[in-house]
Amino acid sequence: MATVIITSAHELSATQRTEAEKIASKKLGHSNFEVQTVIDASLIGGITMQIGSKMYDASLRGQLESLRR
Amino acid sequence: MEIDVRAILAQMLNFGLLTAVLTYFLLKPIKSVLEARSRRIAEGQQAAEDALAEKAKIGEIKTKAEKDAKQEAKNILASARQEADARREELMAVAKADVEAAKAKMLKNLDKEKAAEVQVWQKQFEAIVLQVSEQLVGESLDAKKHAKLIDQGLQRIASSK
């Protein structure tokens, strides 16, 4: 079973969680996965999703880091 | 006047004998002496001519040797000059290449140092900007803005590969 880790700076709403699960299902190509949610204030804002071995970063911290690079 | 035939004949005989004696004892040695003298003169002349020819020949050889020596000296000088010019050009080229290499190395080092210094300043500047941005953004986000950022993030993740 695959694991999906959803990290955000603020708690997700039920709608947002459902939407995140839909995205994970679409990316994996199946619905057989476990979801873990993490609150991390260091992200500043936005969300990151680790779907299987791939990391998707849509956080403000990530954007600032990419600016630094 | 009577002609004494016997006296005339005796005189003739006397003259003939004298001529024969003189021819035998005087003319032959004188002739041989003269011939020897002529021979010596001819030999002397020949020797003088030979000596003159030899002298002329030696003069020619000397002139030729002088000419050859001068030409050889000229050739040696030209060759030495040419060699010196080539050596000078070679040394100049080597020196020029060394100078260019040293210059390039110095410029490269300067560029490297400059780039390293710029990179350090850039990193410090980025760190400061990032720190200030984090602080400003973190302080200004409320629950609504967080929710909006999460929605936007989800859209971005959905559209990314």
Q: A50 exposed, middle or buried (CB, 10 Å; 0-12, 13-18, 19+)?
A: middle
* Residue ranges for chain B with pLDDT beneath 70: 1, 138
Say what the pLDDT of residue A51 is: 93
Q: What is the pLDDT of residues A26-35, one digit of tens each?
A: 999 998 999 9
CB contact under 8 A, B153 and A46: yes
By the CB < 8 Å criterion, does B160 face chain A? yes
CA distance B143 to chain A (A): 7
Say what the pLDDT of residue B137 is: 72
**Residue A13, φ and ψ in degrees, nearest 5:** -80, 170
ipTM attached to this prediction:
0.92
Quote the pTM value: 0.46
**Residue A40, φ and ψ in degrees, nearest 5:** -135, 105
Strand stretches in B27-147, DSSP E: none
Say what the pLDDT of residue A61 is: 86
Output the furthest CA–CA distance in chain B (Å, rounded).
Answer: 204
Say what the pLDDT of residue A66 is: 81
Q: What is the pLDDT of residues A8-64, one digit of tens each?
A: 989 999 999 999 999 999 999 998 999 999 999 888 889 999 998 899 999 988 887
Say what the pLDDT of residue B1 is: 66
By the CB < 8 Å criterion, does B121 face chain A? no
Question: CA–CA distance from B141 to each of A11, A49, A60, B82 (Å)?
Answer: 13, 21, 11, 85
- Cβ-Cβ pairs closer than 8 A, A with B, add up to 67
